[in-house]
Amino acid sequence: MTSLFRDAMGPRLGTRASVVCIGAFDGVHLGHQGLLQHAQQHARSRAADCVAVSFEPLPREYFVRDGQIARLSSARQKFQWLAAAGADRVGLLRFNQRLAETSAEDFVRGLLIERLQVCEVWVGPEFRFGQQRRGDLDLLRRMGAQHGFSAEAISGAGWQGERISSSRIRVALQAGEFAQARAMLGRDFSISGRVVHGLKLGRTLGYPTANIPLLGRHPPVQGIYAVRVNGEGLNDWPSVASLGTRPTIAGRELLLEAHLFDFNGDLYGKRLDVAFVRKLRDEVHFENLSALVVQMNIDAEQARAVLAQRTQAGECTS
């Protein structure tokens, strides 16, 4: 079972040496997965642990104080996907003022050498770390030569002639290019969360929804979508979803609302994963609820058709 740690400094973790890969790992896309698989192979050959080190919040989230950074994954999803990719340990380091002010050298000594007993470090291209981003691959190599570990960069997987990156996937999602995002992620883009009680308005309009609050997260998508829902015994359940602020009822906070077609059950308190298949339209304001229902009928019909077409085509959805 994959273990989680949150602090860069502290007592030694485990008794074995570690092959460590470090990165933001937002979305854990195919490039990240390739890096993890590479590190895992090296770890197995050396009877060492494979360790993935990332940060929560991401450094750029910490320095952008309003938090308006589009994320491909929550911390929970990141941990789950890194574990599935083969990490024996996952470090989601608390990125705070103390860590931001930690020098690159102290980071290497405290985390890599003392806590993880590193024997190899693998990073992505142009990786930087430590106070004022002064740490780089050259510094890792110099310290490795002194302390008995190696450090190398790996470019990771590519798609259509360019390196896969989280920023490239965000651009594809924002443009509604879900097939492109899927090709780079290796799965559908998804949002997970626990279902909460809402206003029950959807039920009165004939479209009961599972409401999942974003809790400060800012995904790179917003609008109305054909989706599939997983979790709690649901397997790619065809659905239609709205992600936005619900302007017709003067909503303020971002909320994900999924209507599961032909479903009759209690999902309150359950954790669901909503996989986005195709964007249907932008979120708009309607003059009244009757006009909203007319559009919801159209959205539901379009979503059913999109999902049926994808199922018939035998396209992988996870």
**Is there a single domain that holds both residue 155 and residue 9?**
yes
CATH code for the domain of 259? 2.40.30.30
Q: Where is average pLDDT lowest: 128-132, 169-173, 222-226, 314-318?
A: 314-318
Does residue 69 carry a pLDDT above 90? no
Using the predicted structure, report yes or no on whether residue 200 has a pLDDT greater than 80. Answer: no
Task: Please tell me whether residues 228 and 299 are part of one structural domain.
Answer: yes
Cα–Cα dist 193/249, whole Å: 23
My answer on whether 250 and 120 are in the same domain is no
Residue-wise pLDDT tens digits, 15-26: 999 999 999 999
At residue 227, the pLDDT reads 98
Both 36 and 151 in one domain: the answer is: yes
| Residues whose CB is less than 8 angstroms from the CB of residue 126 and which lie 6 or more positions away in sequence, other chains included | none
- Final residue in a domain of this structure, among 159, 178, 197: 159
Structure pTM? 0.90
As a whole number of Å, the CA-based R_g of the chain is 22
Please tell me the number of Cα atoms within 13 Å of 153 on its side-chain side: 12
Give the CA count within 13 Å in the CB-facing half-sphere of 105. Answer: 3
Structural domain includes residue 178: no
CATH number of the domain encompassing residue 20: 3.40.50.620
At 72-97, the pLDDT tens digits run 999 999 999 999 999 999 999 999 99
What domain count does the chain have?
A: 2
What 8-state DSSP symbol labels residue 126? T
Name the band, by pLDDT with cuts 50, 70 and 90, for residue 315.
low
The whole-chain average pLDDT of the chain stands at 92
Whole domain around residue 142: which residue ranges? 3-159
